[in-house]
Structure 1
Amino acid sequence: MTPFRPGVAILLASLVLLPGCATPIWDRDSARDHKHRHSDVQVGPRPAWLVDGMDAGPLKEKLERCNLKRLRRTDFSIGHRGAPLQFPEHTMESYVAAARMGAGMVECDVSFTADRELVCRHAQDDLHTTTNIVTIPALNAKCTQPFVPADPAPGLPARAECRTSDITLAEFKSLQGKMDAFNPMATTPEEFVGGTADWRTDLYASRGTLLSHRESIELFKTLGVKMAPELKTPVVEMPYEGDYTQQDYARQMIQDYIDAGVAPADVWPQSFLLDDVLFWVNEMPEFGRQAVFLDQEGITPRTSSLAYMEALKAQGVNIIAPAIWKMLALDEQQKIVPSEYARNARAAGLDVIAWTVERGGPLTGGGGWYYQTVTEAINKDADVMKVIDVLARDVGVIGIFSDWPATTTYYANCMDID
C-alpha cells in the first residue's frame, strides 16, 4: 500500500478541522469509525422543496411522511463529479460536499497529464472551462489552443482549448478549479473564465482544490465512500507519444486502487469504450466484475434489443449505464414507464445505473436532453422525483448519478434503499 500523501492530509485537515479543535476530525479516531463519523448526512432544503412542488398523489404523500431525523449514506446516491450543481466539479470541495449529502459512491473522471500521471477531470480537454488556466500566462501558452479574445465587430467568439496532456501533474496541481463555464464573447482571460449559468452559482467557487487520481482515492477512503472512476476517452491519438497505449492507461487506473489497498468491491470502474470494460473483465477480473459500460449508443432496434443486452452479458459485462432518457418512455396515458431498452437490459440479467439527475438546469418546458423521451410528462423541477421513482421502482436501477446527491439520498432514505 502506498503511504498517505502529505498534501492530501493537509487539505483534509484544513477542511474538516472544527473551531476550537486541535486535532483534525478525520484523524482523531480509528479508521473503523470513519464511516460512522462521516455518516452525519445533511440534505439541506432542496429535497423538501422539490417534494413540496410535486403533483398530489401517493408518491408525494410517501415522500412527505418520511422520518428523516437521522439520514444514512446510500450507494443508490452517486456523486456525479462530486456535487457540481453548486461546487466546482472534480475538486476536493465538491467531493466532500457529495459525501456530506449522503452519496455512498463518488466519481473521479480520470484523464492523464503530459507526464502520464492520472488526474480527476471530466475530459482531457476541459481545463479552459473548469480551471483558471487561461489566466496564468505561462500555462496558457502551453495549451493546445491558447486563449484568443473574441472580436465583437464581426461577432467572432473567443477561443481556447487546454488539455491535461498539455501540462505536468505539478502544473495541474497549481490550478484552481471553478464552475464549468466560459464567456464566449470575452476579450480578456479574466472575462473568459466567467459565464456560470444563472441556475448554478459561484458562491462556493472561491475554493476549488484539484486532485490527482491517487489523492482522490485517499480522500474517498477517509470519507468512507465507494469509488466510481471513469476512464475518459482520450482526445489525443493513442498510443500517446507512440508507446502509452489505451490498455496501459486502463491498467494504470486500476493499479492505483491496488497500490492503495482498496478492495475491488469498493470500486466501480467505468468507460464509454466497451474495449476498456472488456479489458478489465478479462485482464483484471476482480475489478472487472463491477466494471460499468457507459452505453451512449443511440436507440435503434439493435441497441435496445434483448439480443444486444445478452451479447454484452455473454462477454462478461454485468453493469450497463445509459442516460436517463434511454430507460424511460410514455404509455398511452402519458405516464412515465420503463422503455424497451430498460426492460431488455434487466431481462438479460444486467444491473443498471442511470445518469444524470439534477443536471441541465430547470425542468420547465420538458427538461431538456436528459428527459427527451418523456418531455410531455416533465414541466417542473419537482418532476425529478417521479423520474427517480420510476427508475428505482419500475426499472430497478441500482444507483443514480446526481449533480446534487442530496436529492437521491433523500429519496433512497424515504424508500429504505441501501
Structure 2
Amino acid sequence: MEDSPLKKKLESCAEMEMKPTAWSISHRGGGTLQFPEETYESIMAGTRMGAGIQECDVVFTKDRSLVCRHAQCDLHRTTNILTIPSLNAKCTTPFTPANSTHPATAKCCTSDFTLAELSTLCSKMDGANPAATTPLEYLDGTPKFRTDLYAKTCSPILTLREYIEIVDNLGLKFTPELKTPEVPMPFPPGSDYTQEKYAQHMIDEFKAARIDPNRVYVQSFLYADLLYWLKAEPAFAKQAVLLDESADFGPMEDSVANLTRYAKDGVKIIAPPLPYLVTGDAKGEIVPSAYATRAKEVGLDIITWSLERDGWLAGGSDGAYYYATIGNVTSNEGDVFRLLHTLAQDVGVIGVFSDWSSTTTYYANCFGLVH
C-alpha cells in the first residue's frame, strides 16, 4: 500500500485486539479463499476472523429439504458428485468430456437429489476444468488465487437447520439468502411448492429454532420475495435485504431510478455489488457513485458484496468484475483498504461481504465500526 494517512492509521492498529463485528459479513462462510464454501470449516474460519454475520445461500432438494449451496445448480463445481457414477447419472446434465470442438460440460442441481443422497457428498473448492476428459480432471479447477491445501477432508453439505444451530451456538447473526430457483416453480410441476411457499419455508426454519428476527437479515435477488416477506413476515422483513444486480442486465440509470420505488415499497436495505457503489475520479481517488448517492438520498441502508472474490488487483486483471469501476485507479492489494475506506466513510455502508473476513474485520476495528 502506498504511503498515506490511511496506511498510517491502519498500521497503528496492528496490535489492537480485534473483536467480531456485524460490519464484517461472511460470504459463503467467510473463509472461501482457503476452505470449501458453505461448509462448517468456512463458517469457523470466517468466525475466527471476526465475521459478525454468517451467510447461508438457501436452496431446496428433490424432497424439499433446505440446504446451503451458493446456487441450486452448482454441485458439479462445488462437490465430488461427478465421481459417483450413480449420482452423476441423475444430474440434469451428466458429465460429458471435452473434445476438439466442445468443452467439458455438467450440470448437477440440488433439486435432482434427495437430502439423503446429498448427505453422501464431499464439498470442494469452487471451480471446474473445461478441458477435462474425466470427472477427476473436471474437479481440478480451483483458481490460482485460492488453495486446495485445506480441502482434503470431506466436508458435508450443511442443511439450513444445521447452519442455524452452528451460528446460533456461536452467538452470531444470520443472513440466509433465498436463491432464485433454476427450475420452474411450483416444484415439481403441478405441486403446491410455489415461490411463496419456498420463501415462507426458509422463514419457518428460523421460527422453529426460535431465533429472534432481529438477528436475521434475510436476502433475495427476487423482488417478489421481498414483497412477500414485507406482507407475510414483517418482523423478519425489517432487516430484509434486496440484492441488486439489475445494472448487469440493463442501464445503470434504470437501477438508480428503481431505488425510489424500493424505498417507497418498504425495503430498508439494498445490497448491490461493489462496482455499483464506487468509481475512480480524475485525481485517482475512489469516490461514491451516482447509485450510492441516490440510495442514501431515499433512505436506504447499504450492504455490498463481495470483497476479495476476484483475483489479485496487481495481477493485470484491470479490476475484473468486483473492482471494474475502479480498475483505472487501483494497482496493488493495499488498494482494497482504500476501497473499504470510501465505502465506510463516504458511502456509509452498514456491512461488507468478504471471502476472507479478516480484511473487513481489521478495517472495522481500526475505525470503530464494531457493532
Give the TM-score band, short-chain normalised: over 0.9
Q: Which runs of 5+ in 1 are unaligned?
A: 1-53
2:52 corresponds to 1:104: yes
- Deviations 1:20-79 (Å, cap 9, x if unpaired)? xxxxxxxxxxxxxxxxxxxxxxxxxxxxxxxxxx11110000000015442100000001
Distance in 1 between residues matched to 2:261 and 2:181, nearest whole Å: 26
Secondary structure in 2 aligned to 1:222? helix
- One-letter amino acid matched to 1:158: A
Distance in 2 between residues matched to 1:209 and 1:300, nearest whole Å: 40
With over 3 angstroms needed to count, the CA separation of the structure-2 counterparts of 1:169 and 1:342, relative to structure 1, is same
Partner residue of 1:283? 232
| Preserved contact between residue 96 and residue 223 of structure 1 (Cα < 8 Å) | no
Secondary structure in 1 aligned to 2:328? helix
Match of 1:316 among 219, 241, 266: 266
Distance in 2 between residues matched to 1:159 and 1:368, nearest whole Å: 24
Over 6 Å off, 4+ runs: none
Match of 1:363 among 278, 301, 313: 313
Which stretch of the first structure deviates more once superposed, 75-84 or 154-163? 154-163
Match of 2:112 among 166, 170, 173: 166
| Preserved contact between residue 319 and residue 325 of structure 2 (Cα < 8 Å) | no
Partner residue of 2:361? 409
Distance in 2 between residues matched to 1:301 and 1:176, nearest whole Å: 43
Distance in 2 between residues matched to 1:316 and 1:71, nearest whole Å: 35
Match of 2:178 among 231, 249, 253: 231
| Preserved contact between residue 81 and residue 109 of structure 1 (Cα < 8 Å) | yes
Structure 2 matches for 1:103-252, cutoff 5 A? 103-151=51-99, 154-207=100-153, 208-241=155-188, 242=190, 243-252=192-201
Structure 2 matches for 1:245-284, cutoff 5 A? 245-284=194-233
With over 3 angstroms needed to count, the CA separation of the structure-2 counterparts of 1:352 and 1:370, relative to structure 1, is same
Partner residue of 1:70? 17
- One-letter amino acid matched to 2:48: R
Secondary structure in 1 aligned to 2:36? coil
Which stretch of the first structure deviates more once superposed, 296-305 or 131-140? 296-305
Distance in 2 between residues matched to 1:286 and 1:304, nearest whole Å: 27
Secondary structure in 2 aligned to 1:76? strand
Match of 1:399 among 351, 354, 366: 351
- Deviations 1:365-415 (Å, cap 9, x if unpaired)? 322111111111111121111001100110000000000001000110111
- One-letter amino acid matched to 1:408: T
| Preserved contact between residue 68 and residue 413 of structure 1 (Cα < 8 Å) | no
Aligned-residue CA RMSD (Å): 1.1
- TM-score, normalising length from structure 1? 0.85
With over 3 angstroms needed to count, the CA separation of the structure-2 counterparts of 1:163 and 1:139, relative to structure 1, is same
- One-letter amino acid matched to 1:279: Y
- Deviations 1:196-252 (Å, cap 9, x if unpaired)? 111110011113232001110001011121111000011100111122100010000
- One-letter amino acid matched to 2:71: A
| Preserved contact between residue 280 and residue 286 of structure 2 (Cα < 8 Å) | yes
| Preserved contact between residue 270 and residue 291 of structure 1 (Cα < 8 Å) | yes
2:287 corresponds to 1:337: yes
| Preserved contact between residue 81 and residue 90 of structure 1 (Cα < 8 Å) | yes
| Preserved contact between residue 363 and residue 379 of structure 1 (Cα < 8 Å) | yes
Distance in 2 between residues matched to 1:309 and 1:138, nearest whole Å: 47
Distance in 2 between residues matched to 1:397 and 1:159, nearest whole Å: 39
- One-letter amino acid matched to 1:361: G
Partner residue of 1:353? 303
- One-letter amino acid matched to 1:144: T
| Preserved contact between residue 289 and residue 318 of structure 1 (Cα < 8 Å) | yes
Structure 2 matches for 1:47-58, cutoff 5 A? 54-58=1-5
Shift of 1:156: 2.2
Shift of 1:303: 1.9
Percentage of matched positions with identical amino acids: 52
Partner residue of 1:85? 33
Shift of 1:123: 0.4
- Deviations 1:341-386 (Å, cap 9, x if unpaired)? 1011011110000101011111123221111111111111211110
Secondary structure in 1 aligned to 2:169? helix
Partner residue of 1:295? 244
- One-letter amino acid matched to 1:97: A
Shift of 1:283: 0.7
Distance in 2 between residues matched to 1:407 and 1:62, nearest whole Å: 15
| Preserved contact between residue 86 and residue 203 of structure 1 (Cα < 8 Å) | yes
Shift of 1:314: 1.1
Partner residue of 1:15? none
Distance in 2 between residues matched to 1:231 and 1:80, nearest whole Å: 14
